Chains A and B, each alone.
Chain A
Amino acid sequence: QQQVKQSPQSLIVQKGGISIINCAYENTAFDYFPWYQQFPGKGPALLIAIRPDVSEKKEGRFTISFNKSAKQFSLHIMDSQPGDSATYFCAATSLGDYKLSFGAGTTVTVRA
């Protein structure tokens, strides 16, 4: 049973547009929520992460929004570029837990 639900499965955005990926979780013990970016043929790379005591975190063009009461979090990619075309995975875990629960992944395609 998937502990983190991610949507959409894929999305296409024009260069300069905003890409939005949503994730939802059930386990209230989760307290760390990373996002990974994976290019074809490469391993997942940590993109940005957030803890539930923060409602928003921004790094460059990437922003995570976190809604603890709704148990939802999302990734916004502002001013999307063709180089952002990749698969994005949200994930969740608890401090001290070695298991990372992944979402199913979202393939983002940015058209020039």
Chain B
Amino acid sequence: DTEVTQTPKHLVMGMTNKKSLKCEQHMGHRAMYWYKQKAKKPPELMFVYSYEKLSINESVPSRFSPECPNSSLLNLHLHALQPEDSALYLCASSQGGQGGNTIYFGEGSWLTVV
């Protein structure tokens, strides 16, 4: 079983809604990630937090807003999404820095924008 926990597992939201995806890890990892995955495609990196600071933003539209409240938690705030944003959103974590780059994924949150 994955040690990266994501909630909710499924989310349906309208284009004017505001919702959040949540992620938690208790492996002591200092790097946390958000990925987006479309059907039959590899995961695409969206954001990386390293030691609770935003380290990488892969030119993601501002309707996606990440937040890292502490080293164990990662949120993704969603607002004014488009139907094409429907996808599996994956949270992941790794030790970070020179401590190793084995990335562990959660089960994902299935997002449907209607």
Contacts and interface: CB of A to CB of B under 8 A. Distances in A.
A95 interface: yes
B42 A89 contact: yes
Nearest to A105: B42
A95 B55 contact: no
Contacts of B105: 36, 43-46
Interface residues of B, number: 30
Interface of A, helix, strand, loop or mixed by DSSP: loop
A46 B105 CA distance: 8
Given A42-B107, A42-B108, A43-B108, A98 B101 contact: yes
Nearest to B45: A99
Q: How large is the interface on A (under 10, 10 to 19, 20 to 34, 35 or more residues)?
A: 20 to 34
B38 to A, nearest CB: 11
A34 interface: yes
Contacts of B40: 87, 105, 107
Nearest to A93: B101
A44 B43 contact: yes
Contacts of A94: 101
A13 interface: no
B102 A34 contact: yes
Contacts of B102: 32, 34, 46, 49
B12 to A, nearest CB: 16
Interface in A89-112: 89, 93-100, 102-105, 107
Contacts of A93: 101
A81 to B, nearest CB: 20
Interface in A21-41: 32, 34, 36, 41
B81 interface: no
Contacts of B66: none
Given A44-B43, A87-B40, A96 B108 contact: no
A112 B41 CA distance: 26
Given A32-B101, A104-B41, 12 more contacts: A42-B108, A43-B2, A43-B4, A43-B90, A44-B90, A45-B2, A89-B42, A97-B101, A98-B50, A98-B96, A99-B45, A102-B42
